[in-house]
Amino acid sequence: MNTEFFEALAMIAKEKGIEQDELLEKIKSAITTAVKRDYQDPKNVVLDIDPMKGSFNVYISKMAVEEVEDPTEEIYLEEALKYNKRAKIGEMVDIKLETKQFGRIAAQTAKHIIRQGIREAEREQLLKEFQSRQQDIATGLVTRTDPRKGSVTLEIGHSEAVLSKSEQIPGEQLSEGDRVKIYVAEAVQTEKGPRIMISRTHPGLVKRLFEMEVPEIYDGTVEIKSVSREAGSRTKIAVYSKNEDVDAVGACIGPKGARVAEIVNELCGEKIDVVKYSEKPEEFIAAALSPSEVISVQIENEAARACRVIVPADQLSLAIGNKGQNVRLAARLTGWKIDIHPEGEELEDFSDEPMQEDLIEANL
């Protein structure tokens, strides 16, 4: 029986990706609880479980006494001598239990708690695995889809995580067997258990993809300064070169656009504008509004980070973008409120009223 037990233990540990010692602690706790419930709550339950030796023994430890006042902790000397012929008054005696002595209730209790312990160990393993990948990319295999909720379950390493519909790229169709890259946005322990948030819409996914695809970013020559993204549609990424001889934008785009094309493919055709970062706000804002040309950038209120931008009249719609997307992404990328005007328009007094523009910066 002991051999079968330890073989099963090793198999479960391997299948679940849980450390055998950790699983064994859960089982010890389960057996202790079961014994206490079935033996009038003894105070001292001793477990001797050694996988190396293949030993599995359970004892209740009681003190040998002349008069028993607490049966959960004490045993008559004459009874103690049956278990240890050298027992003496005041000494502890280990009463070995046979597995069959646990009784049906204890066995069911142990079975239930062992299962619960395995689930807890799985959740702990899940949290550890995802905490090690927090704010990083992982590759997942789609194992299940939920047509009603639109969510998909991904197998990532030895663990599983759910990619909710809201964290999927709009319009993307994921099927069982697909392999996709996800961003581990959060992995924390809560009162209800581990909370794992994975995403394909987070700006951090784009940042990590560029770090993987562009050697100059990986080795630190080129730095990603900020990212603004509307998943499934368009992303703007600002990059800066620490080496004057290295073109940051060119490095990210790659020969004939090969590097950025790989990322675009991973993101289901999402358009990506690679922008040169500058310490000068005027230059950075002008670059962020690409592909539109910019005639001038005037800083109107530095404290409020507000500016007025003049563009060619025939490029006003391009600068603003479809439903304001281009200027919205540029504002998020730079952290500036951008007021766009066509060339030749009579200048009006600049209002200090805050623009109704969403200026959430990418949390990287």
Best mean pLDDT range from 2-6, 118-122, 341-345: 341-345
For residue 209, what pLDDT is reported?
Answer: 96
pTM score > 0.75 for this model?
no
CB 339 within 8 A of CB 348: no
- What total of structural domains would you count in the chain? 4
Task: Name the domain boundary from 256, 277, 298.
Answer: 277
For residue 204, what pLDDT is reported?
Answer: 95
Does 38 fall in a domain?
yes
pLDDT tens-digit readout, 108-165:
655 666 677 677 777 777 788 788 888 899 999 999 999 999 999 999 887 888 999 9
pLDDT tens-digit readout, 13-39:
776 667 778 777 877 777 777 777 776
Q: For residue 216, give the H/E element and its range.
A: helix 215-218
> Taking the C-alpha atoms of 15, 18, 22 and 26 in order, what is their torsion angle to the nearest 10 degrees?
-50
For residue 207, what pLDDT is reported?
Answer: 96
Same domain, 250 and 273: yes
> Would you list the DSSP string of 84-107?
-TT--TT-EEEEEE-GGGGHHHHH
Lowest-confidence region among 49-63, 65-79, 100-114: 100-114
Same domain, 37 and 119: yes
* Mean pLDDT value of segment 296-301: 94
Question: Counting runs of H as helices and runs of E as strands, what totals does the chain give?
Answer: 11, 15
Residue 225 pLDDT > 90: yes
Does 130 fall in a domain?
no
Same domain, 95 and 207: no
Range of the domain at 272: 202-277
- CA–CA separation, 332 and 339 (whole Å): 13
pLDDT tens-digit readout, 144-153:
999 999 999 9
Same domain, 45 and 119: yes
- CA–CA separation, 35 and 96 (whole Å): 12
